[in-house]
Structure 1
Amino acid sequence: MDRVKSDARGDEQRTQYVASSRRSAHGTGRGSPVPPRTGQYRPTATPPQRVGEDRYRPGGRRTSAEPLRASWKPQAESEPDEPRRKPVKRGKFGTFAKTYGWRVYALPILVVITALVVFNTATGPAEPIAQEGRTSAAAESGTGSGPKSGTAVLPENPAKPVNLNIPTAELPKGGDFTQAGKGTFHVVPGSGPKIGQGKLYTYTVEVEDGIDPASYAGDDSFGNAVQGILSDPRSWTFDGKKALQRVDASFPNPTFRVTLTTPETNHRPDVCGYSITYETSCYTESFQRRVVINLARWVRGAIAFGGDMTGYRQYAINHEVGHALGGVHVPCPVNDGPAPVMMQQTLGVADNYVAQLNDLPGGDRNAVPADGKTCKPNAWPSPNP
């Protein structure tokens, strides 16, 4: 029996396997003789199997005798591709940013935007005022008595009551009136034709619930008075650019509502307010676009008009409707001339008196100068059409 030397650890079983292989090739006549060793790889028989670690050496050629299973040494350990990176140390901000992601950067941006909006709101220009007790921030100059198109007119009042010395602003003595109503309103029945040419403005006539009719001669009397004033050619249709038409409750959305209110309702912050402590009327955009006529003034008038109640009522309607059409407050332009209908004649016809309102918060300091001019009362936008 021939013995074969092996570089690996020999054992009896391996020796017997080799001997048996040679006998099969030479002694039995089965198969072909073993070719001479020439250095060329010619697999003619299953090579002997090595036992031990060489059998599973990574990268070695697999033979049919080797089991199909992975090496016991992982590739990462035997042939590392690159050295392991050292973990990056994160500070508190890094950990916070990793946890919340993009929110960390979005939050400061939102804070800055909010601060800018608040700043612009607090420092922006004051809104125009549409109350006889206040001047408008967009007051016209000169003798203009027509509305200024596109002007926003909103009722605003000082945060605290203001004491003013305007003797002509006091409510005159006179007839009785209801001090407080129910705060709700009803539309006075009635409608009328279109008056004037140009852009159409529709209006309803309304009265607060709970008013004693004896103080204003009833709903029909008030409704007819309002319609008659606004249909007069001296009123706001004089320029041929505007048309007015009274509508009833069936009309879904009138341009404005001419509303007779009690003083208590008038004083509400969401209506006219009462910071200057004088009875006034107003126009309020936010309260269903109401032309608010103070019952106290409708019954007693104003000192500047003396006992001319008809003239004062005509002025009150035209002045407040002027705000609904975009008009703003103006001063007396010419001494002893007719006062513009948009001058605050309920408080007086002297610029020195009305100018006191300029110093109120939100007032326009240039709206009415204290120039000593005094006008005569006037009820119409165009006294001489």
Structure 2
Amino acid sequence: MVERSPSGSRRSLSTQAEDSAPGWDAAPAETRYVRGRRRTSAEPLAAAWNLEAAAEDEAPRRGGLGALLAAYGWRIYAVPVLVALTALVVFDAARPGGGTAGAFGLAGGSPAVTEAPAGPVNLNIPTAELPGGGAFTQAGAGTWRILPGNGPRVGTGPKLFTYTVEIEDGINPAEYGGDDAFAHLVDQTLADPRSWVGQRTIALQRVDAGTPNPSFRVSLTTPNTDHRPDMCGFQITYETSCYNAGNRRVVINLARWVRGAMAFGGDLLTYRQYAINHEVGHAFGNGHVGCESDGGLAPVMMQQTFGVADNYVAQLNQVDPYNKKAVATDGKTCRPNAWPVPEAKPSG
């Protein structure tokens, strides 16, 4: 989220920084434990397992527990241990998410892949790294095509902003779900009462190539193009999106669109809505802010791509002269939030 001046100088490193930018065995199973087939001269499990018969031979010489211990030694303890281990394996295989590749690392299955993490995300650790996930095009052509489509005016505010929706040339549509899906989410997000129109100070309308000089351009962009000095830059070396005031372009980083951000814990839809609202917020003149209420929802203009802990975001901003003092080192941590007016009733 780096906002750039018309001269191309970096007004807000948030562009790049939140606006800117991480098998086994040979013997057949059915013969493996048949006596005489392997290790017949030193096979500990070949000891007598008929404890009753063995006890009848030994009992006359010694009585009670002592007799059993003298006769079978370690085998007395081995049996209950083996029973316990067997029960544990059965439990691991039966529990949700268990299966044959459970705690013992047994072969025979691959773990299920889910979009959300297994547990709560620790929001007070470094969270700016790009999460793992789908593939994306690293470098596009550096040019954009405007997607066709005009929309109605949304919002009741007196100030009208127009926008286009654009895709950088050279991106595989399968990576972002196709042109219609991208444009629909942009339009749907910006028309939602929880978005900027909910403040009732502005109105929005989508236009296409037939309308000259839109107020801003929402442009899906590859990381290499995003990193260019005339776009978002890469001073804070983590993937991020930005708004460049010089060319009035809302740069949506393809890497983040595909992978999201760690602070959002795998909620890719909410992250995408956040990225749109945050960068468009710069087009309306809004700068970066920190967490306002410890444990509360993060302001949409917080650099949530990097994280929602003020101390961590403030540390990253020290290399950005425009955002160096945007966030205080005050120990506050918020919860991820995609909306400028989160209390409003969702559309639809």
TM-score norm. by structure 1 comes to 0.58
The equivalent residue for 2:248 is 289
1:5-31 CA-partner distances (Å, limit 9, x unpaired) = xxxxxxxxxxxxxxxxxxxxxxxxxxx
- What's the CA shift for 1:133? 4.2
- Does structure 2 retain, via aligned residues, the 8 Å contact 1:235–1:318? yes
Structure 1 position 129 matched with structure 2 position 89 = no
Which residue identity is paired with 1:214? A
Which residue identity is paired with 1:261? T
What RMSD in Å do the two structures reach over aligned CA positions? 2.1
1:338-372 CA-partner distances (Å, limit 9, x unpaired) = 00000000000000101113422514443211111
Which residue identity is paired with 2:253? N
**RCO higher in structure (CA 8 A, sep ≥6):** 2
When the two structures are aligned, how many residues end up with a matched partner?
Answer: 233
Instruction: For 1:138-157, list aligned pairs within 5 A.
Output: none
CA 180–156 in structure 1, closer or farther in 2 if over 3 Å, else same: closer
Which residue identity is paired with 1:190? G
- Does structure 2 retain, via aligned residues, the 8 Å contact 1:293–1:316? yes
Higher gyration radius (CA): 1
Which residue identity is paired with 2:292? P
The equivalent residue for 1:143 is none
Instruction: For 1:1-385, list aligned pairs within 5 A.
Output: 128-129=11-12, 131-134=14-17, 167-197=126-156, 198-286=158-246, 288-385=247-344
Rounded Cα–Cα distance in structure 1 between residues aligned with 2:301 and 2:320: 21
- Does structure 2 retain, via aligned residues, the 8 Å contact 1:262–1:294? yes
Residue segments in structure 1 that go unaligned for 5+ positions in a row:
1-125, 136-154, 158-164
The equivalent residue for 1:78 is none
- What's the CA shift for 1:274? 1.4
- Does structure 1 retain, via aligned residues, the 8 Å contact 2:20–2:241? no
TM-score norm. by structure 2 comes to 0.64
- What's the CA shift for 1:167? 2.3
Rounded Cα–Cα distance in structure 2 between residues aligned with 1:189 and 1:251: 11
The equivalent residue for 2:116 is none
- What's the CA shift for 1:128? 3.5
Residue segments in structure 2 that go unaligned for 5+ positions in a row:
1-8, 22-123
1:242-292 CA-partner distances (Å, limit 9, x unpaired) = 000100110011000000001111111111111221000000011x20000
Rounded Cα–Cα distance in structure 2 between residues aligned with 1:363 and 1:170: 22
1:2-55 CA-partner distances (Å, limit 9, x unpaired) = xxxxxxxxxxxxxxxxxxxxxxxxxxxxxxxxxxxxxxxxxxxxxxxxxxxxxx
Rounded Cα–Cα distance in structure 2 between residues aligned with 1:213 and 1:189: 16
- What's the CA shift for 1:375? 0.1
**Larger mean Cα displacement after TM superposition, 349-358 or 336-345:** 349-358
- What's the CA shift for 1:166? 7.0
- What's the CA shift for 1:337? 0.1
- What's the CA shift for 1:220? 1.1
CA 310–303 in structure 1, closer or farther in 2 if over 3 Å, else same: same
- Does structure 2 retain, via aligned residues, the 8 Å contact 1:177–1:215? yes
Rounded Cα–Cα distance in structure 2 between residues aligned with 1:236 and 1:156: 22
**Partner secondary structure for residue 258 of structure 2:** helix
- Does structure 2 retain, via aligned residues, the 8 Å contact 1:351–1:374? yes
Identity value in percent = 64
